[in-house]
């Protein structure tokens, strides 16, 4: 790793872990600093492996070429690390946050998130970014000494992208920045934008491949049209598949280069000299130039209107809602239908809100295919139990 900038997060000065770990000896830290240990804990978690079978936009069984939450998370990490290296930020922390950012995502992508949020309306709602924090703080069961992965403050700070004041007040030190109007580390700011870069570009790629959107339609979007023209000028006879890939890779390059250049200017103008000054600064310092921000907003709007609301995606959204809502209602009514582990947790719950949270944990942890087969087992009298 290149030398760290003064404003980068430093693993030797981490604000630490919630549980003091008896075995975190000097010997263990020879090869792995605290942020590398966090990244490794994330990669070895079962929630991380389940990302392979969770939808990004297209349901996992629609085709083998589409992004899943796992490949999405890897693309986020790759983009974020490139930028971190260019800005001399901490690559390890950037990677850990990127790989963990979607750990709490429901099955069926945003459709699943919306459905579960609706189910949980009376019980505090459901938000996947808070759920990612719940996964790493509580739900992973691997270590003898504690629940969750016991990650460093800086990694958890990065996972918690946004938060309502009510929830922030339950999160103590971690939620404090939402009251103070403070910023998270630059690595956290970066992972957040790398998420946007990854999904806008790969959704263009997947949407074109699926035939849900076309290059002709995308010409209406300045960001796409600029890169289309660039490739067309250089390679007028290129076939559609290579054309698509050449455009997408150039769009990612433009995003990354713009992000690096603008963030460098922001950092220089702000004159921040430490992570404390980054946190206390009045606004985020990692960001696009105004022109690219506006173009990216237009591209996102196009995807929202033409891809995420496409009738074939709508059908998936509708089915996903049914699969999750019917299960949620059945478990709320009869907790005897839940697997034993969740029944036990429900038995310990002090009220209906806590019971609902246990059920949301169970549903959110499901992969797409597990949610569908569990639905079959519950509601199809002819399905084998
Ligand atoms: Mg994401």
Tell me, in angstroms, the distance from the centre of ligand 1 to residue 101's CA. 6
CA angle 370-59-132, nearest 5°?
A: 65
Percent of the chain whose predicted confidence (pLDDT) is above 90: 82
How close is the Cα of 4 to the center of ligand 1, in Å? Answer: 26
Reported as a pLDDT band with limits 50, 70 and 90, residue 202 is very high
What tokens were used for 165? 């004041």
pLDDT at residue 316 in the model: 83
pLDDT in tens, 354-384: 999 999 999 999 999 999 999 999 999 887 6
pLDDT computed for residue 384 by the predictor? 67
pTM of the model: 0.95
Centre of ligand 1 to C-alpha 9, Å, is: 22
pLDDT at 308: 86
How confident is the model at residue 163, as a pLDDT?
A: 85
CA distances from 248 to 104, 144, 156, 198 (A): 28, 45, 31, 10
266-277 average pLDDT score: 97
Handedness of CA 71, 149, 125, 337 (dihedral sign): positive
How distant, in Å, are the alpha carbons of 5, 274, 336 from that of 271?
12, 9, 59
280-323 pLDDT tens trace: 999 999 999 999 999 999 999 999 999 988 888 888 888 889 99
pLDDT at position 310, please? 87
User: What is the Å distance from ligand 1's center to 27 Cα?
Assistant: 35
Q: Calculate how far, in angstroms, residue 20's C-alpha sits from the geometric centre of ligand 1.
A: 30
Q: How far is the CA of 110 from the centre of ligand 1 (A)?
A: 10
Q: Cβ contacts of residue 327 below 8 Å, gap of 6+?
A: 363, 371, 374, 375, 378
SS3 state of residue 310: coil
Tell me the mean pLDDT in the region 119-139: 96
What is the spatial distance between Cα 385 and Cα 374, in angstroms, rounded to a whole number? 9
pLDDT single digits (tens) 85-120: 999 999 999 999 999 999 999 998 888 999 999 999
Average pLDDT for 325-346? 96
């Amino acid at each position: 790793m290149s030398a760290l900038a003064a404003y980068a997060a430093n693993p030797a000065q981490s604000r630490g872990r919630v549980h003091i770990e008896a075995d975190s000896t000097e010997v263990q830290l020879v090869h792995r600093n605290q942020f590398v240990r966090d990244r490794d804990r994330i990669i070895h978690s079962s929630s991380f492996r389940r990302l392979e079978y969770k939808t990004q936009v297209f349901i996992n069984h629609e085709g083998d070429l589409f992004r899943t939450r796992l490949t999405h998370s890897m693309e986020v990490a790759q983009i974020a690390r490139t930028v971190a290296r260019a800005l001399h930020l901490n690559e390890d922390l950037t990677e850990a946050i990127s790989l963990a950012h979607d750990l709490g995502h429901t099955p069926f992508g945003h459709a699943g998130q919306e459905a579960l949020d609706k189910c949980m309306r009376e019980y505090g709602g459901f938000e996947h970014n808070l759920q990612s924090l719940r996964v790493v703080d509580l739900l992973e069961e691997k270590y003898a000494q504690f629940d969750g992965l016991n990650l460093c403050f800086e990694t958890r700070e990065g996972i918690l992208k946004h938060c309502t004041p009510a929830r922030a007040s339950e999160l103590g030190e971690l939620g404090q920045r939402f009251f103070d109007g403070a910023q998270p580390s630059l690595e956290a700011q970066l992972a957040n934008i790398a998420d946007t870069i990854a999904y806008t570009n790969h959704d263009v790629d997947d949407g074109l491949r699926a035939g849900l959107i076309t290059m002709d339609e995308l010409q209406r979007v300045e960001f796409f049209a600029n890169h289309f023209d660039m490739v067309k000028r250089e390679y007028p006879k290129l076939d559609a598949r290579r054309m698509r890939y050449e455009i997408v890779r150039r769009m990612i390059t433009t995003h990354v280069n713009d992000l690096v250049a603008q963030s460098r200017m922001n950092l220089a103008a702000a004159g921040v000299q430490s992570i404390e000054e980054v946190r206390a600064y009045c606004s985020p310092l990692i960001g696009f130039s105004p022109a690219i921000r506006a173009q990216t907003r237009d591209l996102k709007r196009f995807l929202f209107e033409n891809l995420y609301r496409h009738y074939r995606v709508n059908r998936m959204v509708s089915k996903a809602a049914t699969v999750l809502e019917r299960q949620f209602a059945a478990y709320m009514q009869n907790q005897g239908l839940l697997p034993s582990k969740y029944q036990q947790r429900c038995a310990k719950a002090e009220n209906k809100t806590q019971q609902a949270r246990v059920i949301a944990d169970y549903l959110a942890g499901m992969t797409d295919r597990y949610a569908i087969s569990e639905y079959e087992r519950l509601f199809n009298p002819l399905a084998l139990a």
